[in-house]
Amino acid sequence: MSYVVPPSPTVSLPIVGSPNRFPVHRIYCVGRNYAEHAQEMGYTGREAPFFFLKPTDAIVSIEQGHPGTMPYPPLTKNLHYEVELVVAIGEGGSNIAADDAHKHIYGYAVGFDMTRRDLQTDMKKQGRPWCIGKSFDHSAPTGPILPADQAGDVVSAAIRLSVNGQERQTSTISQLIWNIGEVIEHISAAWTLQPGDLIFTGTPSGVGPVVPGDVMVGSVEGIGSITVSVV
Ligand code: MN
């Protein structure tokens, strides 16, 4: 048997301190999961969690200690950054209780949920899916995965993003409306989580535009930092 077109390569992320890599299965993203960001987008911050997906090949793998680049995407005039804590699933399952969620986590990374905000806003107004605003090529620059046993206390970690050296987003993971365990409980009630799944847990307030030439630095304290230039 052979394939009639070349099969897609496995998308993967580096692992901190290991030559092995994390193969990416699905990319789940949580919408509006920090109260101040929900408010800046015009919502109360008290709604049930909701989700969207990005295609696996939206990943731009940021290798350890190396800055990365992402091309400015087509169709938009308002490309936004969103820095997020990314949870990497090591053990799959469905109907996972929040209290058991930690058993399913392989590790953590820093990722950017890049957004064509003008197109997303258009789709929202029309009650249409967000795909064109969220799920475009190169829309998920993501750094190396730090195994959970080396990650320390993720909950109290600071999360930050700067553009050209100016701080734009700053919060702590403790400000999540739905915490990591609750997010895993909700997602695994709707889909069967698989090893290799990534969960982008949401972004704090302070989102804004970038243009070609801008350099974004995103970090989660104790997890790592990524540098990505828009080209
Ligand atoms: Mn996001």
* CATH code, domain with 109: 3.90.850.10
Q: How far apart are CA 81 and CA 112, in angstroms?
A: 6
pLDDT at 38: 84
Specify if 2 maps to a domain. Answer: no
Q: What is the distance in A from the centroid of ligand 1 to the CA of 31?
A: 6
Q: How many angstroms does the Cα of residue 30 sit away from the middle of ligand 1? A: 6
Per-residue model confidence as pLDDT tens digits over 81-140: 999 999 999 999 999 999 999 999 999 999 999 999 999 999 999 999 999 999 999 999
Q: How far is the CA of 211 from the centre of ligand 1 (A)?
A: 18
- In angstroms, what is the span from residue 208 Cα to ligand 1's centroid? 12
CA–centroid distance, 95 to ligand 1, in Å, is 23
DSSP 69: E
1 inside domain: no
CA of 32 to the centre of ligand 1 (A): 7
Arithmetic mean of pLDDT, 38-65: 90
Q: What is the pLDDT of residue 225?
A: 98
Task: Give domain status of residue 3, yes or no.
Answer: no
User: pLDDT of 173-217, one tens digit each?
Assistant: 999 999 999 999 999 999 999 999 999 999 999 999 999 999 999
Ligand 1 centroid – CA 5 distance (Å):
33
Query: How many domains are contained in the chain?
Result: 1
CA distance 139 to 222: 24
Q: How far is the CA of 1 from the centre of ligand 1 (A)?
A: 41
Cα 18 to its chain centre, rounded Å, is: 22
223 Cβ neighbours under 8 A, 6+ residues apart: 85, 108, 109, 110, 146, 151, 154, 157
Give dist(CA 182, CA 127) in Å, integer: 27
Instruction: Compute the half-sphere exposure of residue 128: CA atoms within 13 Å on the CB side of its CA.
Output: 11
Domain that holds residue 213: 12-230
Three-state DSSP state, 229: strand
- State in Å: Cα 100 to ligand 1 middle: 24
Ligand 1 centre and the CA of 3: distance in Å?
36
DSSP 55: -
Kindly report, residue by residue over 18-48, the tens digit of the pLDDT: 999 999 999 999 999 998 888 888 887 668 8
Spatial separation of the C-alpha atoms in residues 143 and 226, rounded to whole Å? 6
Q: What is the rounded distance in angstroms from the CA atom of residue 5 to the CA atom of residue 219?
A: 39
Element (DSSP H or E) covering residue 106: strand 105-112
